Structure formats: structure tokens, C-alpha cells
Amino acid sequence: MTVTIKDVAKEAGVSAATVSRVLNNSGYVYEDTRKAVMEAINHLQYKPNEVARSLYKRTSKLIGLVLPDITNPFFPALARGVEDKLQQLGYRVIFGNTDGDATKEMDYIDTFLQHNVVGLIASVDRLHHEVLTNLRVPVVTVDRTTEELPAVYADHKSGGRLAAEKLVRSACEKIVVLRGPQDAKPLYDRFQSATQYLSENNVSFHYLDCQLSFEDGRQKAKELFDQFPDTDGIIACNDLVAAAVLHEAVTRGISVPTDLQVIGYDNITISEIVHPSLTTIHQPTYEMGMKAAEMIIKLISKEKLNTIHEQLPVFIKERNSTVNGGI
């Protein structure tokens, strides 16, 4: 009787998909699991069906795109950049929202590989970068990057410093930083460089942890105004959170920018729409998507890259939520 992949899976106490992952060296598998599968293969003398495997490995024009959440207003422009560039180059995008959950990330990567993607573009928290290593296709990380893998990201060290510098130059003396999740490298970098600048310039500051949503921004803005009522400058971890701060300030009758200055991060459409319009750090989000797409196609075509770490510049966009603002 022929031994099948299902027999191996049963013997090893895992799913057939896991056996497939081990055989194809694709996707993340715990070392213990890998060992159990290899033992089952040896024990049962399983011979993978080469026809099936070659079919499985045939090439496609599909690129997998793994994002935390397309409804976070930062990501649509990034996804659009990826998709526009890939469309020009004759490729198509298969995409998934992971909510930063490692299990979902693994699941998407596995099934994308089963659908013959020839490359992956991923935005994954750095604690989970293991899921992206040892895949059988090239990977480019974007925004949430890691040093071990090809990466496209904005210069958040400059971004954080620019935000802090703006408030210090605009005479803020009691600053609160709303700090985003530190597992995400962009948020870590901008927080570190902002607070480093404040420390170097002997400006006192507090910080509060904050999720990247408008809802959490609203909650944290309330706590902030209750806890530190004499705050005169707020560095928010993104524009949604900054918009929530503005909203809460207006509700409390705090005048922006006279009594309180606020600076966001990203320069999403919302930052222009709110009133007063928001001073923010502009990220080249769409361009980052384009660059990541270019890089993955070069890796697939085995073209030489100038660098595997592509850092794009940011700049400050001054509007009316800080003094001496533009527009």
C-alpha cells in the first residue's frame, strides 16, 4: 500500500499542511515538530510524490502581501503602491490581514506558498520575524522591518527627532509623548529618537502607552489631560491618535495651538481634514509600497540590488496644530 502524506501526518500527530511545510522547507515549523515529521517519514518510508511536488512548485505571477490591517489608514496607500507597481510589472497581489497575530501570519504565509506565490512582501512585528526566515521564496519586509531581511522603511530616527525638535523650538516645556506599541520597529525608533532629543535638550517629558487607533487615542487623551493638566506639547504616535487628542482638547476648551501644540505622524489624509489641521511627519507611504514591489521583483529575477535596506526620507509637514505653522 502506498504511504501518503496523510499517513505521515497521522503518525507524527500533525496536519498534512505541516508535513508539506517540512517537505518543502516553507513556512515556520517548530523544531520539535520538524523532528517528529522526519521521524514519521523515515519510519513509514514515505516517498513524496514528485509529480505533485513539481506541480506544486510551478511558478506563478503572484506575490503575497501580509499586512496588519488594511483598515488602519496608513496601510491602504502602502498596499496601493505595492499593487500599482506589481501591476506595471505584470504581477498580481494576494493579500491578508494578520492583526499582528503570529498564528495568522504563519497561516497566510503557508497558504500563499501553497498558491505558488513567487515572493512575499510582509509587514510583521519584529518578534515574529522568525516566520519569514527560511522560506523557499524571496521576502521583502516593509515598514515593520528587520535587519536580517531585505527591507523598505522610512527614516523614523529622523522623524522622531523632527517632531521633538519642532515642539522644543516652538517653546513647549511640558511635553507628553503618546508612545505606540514598541514591538513595531518604526514606533520604537521614533519614540527613542524623540525622547533622546528631549533629554539632550533638557526638556522634561512624560509618556503614556497608546494603541494606534482613534478610540485608544481618545481614551489616552482623557487620561493625559487628567494626569498632566499643564501639558503644552503632545507628540502622538500617529495621526489618528493626534486627531483624537485634538478632539479631546476642543471638547475641554483647550486652545490649539495657543495653549497646546500637537504633532502627529504619517501625514494620512485625515491630518489635513481635521481642524485645526495637523502638523505631522510625512511618511512616503505609497513610495514605500512601490519600492518594496520593485525590490521583490529584482530578488525574484536575481538582479543585483544596490542595497537590501532601502531607507526613504521623511519630512515635517507644518500645519495649524503647532505655532508658526504653514498653510
Please report, as ranges, the residues that interact with its own copies according to CB under 8 A.
55, 60-62, 69-71, 73, 75-77, 79-80, 83-84, 87, 92-97, 104, 108, 111-112, 115, 214, 240, 243-244, 246-247, 250, 269-270, 272-275
Beta bridge partners of 140: 121
Question: Counting every residue, how long is the chain?
Answer: 327
Question: CA 91, 94, 99, 101 torsion: positive or negative?
Answer: negative
| Residue (104 or 126) nearer to its own copies, CB | 104
Beta bridge partners of 178: 208
Q: Minimum distance from CB of 131 to its own copies (Å)?
A: 17
Using CB atoms within 10 Å of the CB of residue 130, give its burial: 0 to 12 exposed, 13 to 18 middle, 19+ buried: middle
Q: Minimum distance from CB of 106 to its own copies (Å)?
A: 13
What is the DSSP annotation of 260-278? -EEE-SB--THHHHSSSPP
| Residue (189 or 239) nearer to its own copies, CB | 239
Q: Minimum distance from CB of 104 to its own copies (Å)?
A: 8
| Residue (37 or 79) nearer to its own copies, CB | 79
| Residue (6 or 275) nearer to its own copies, CB | 275
Q: What is the rounded distance in angstroms from the CA atom of residue 221 to the CA atom of residue 216? A: 8
| Residue (91 or 197) nearer to its own copies, CB | 91
Q: Minimum distance from CB of 41 to its own copies (Å)?
A: 26
Per-position b or e across 71-82, b if 16+ CB within 10 A of its CB: ebbbbbbbbebb
Q: Minimum distance from CB of 166 to its own copies (Å)?
A: 22
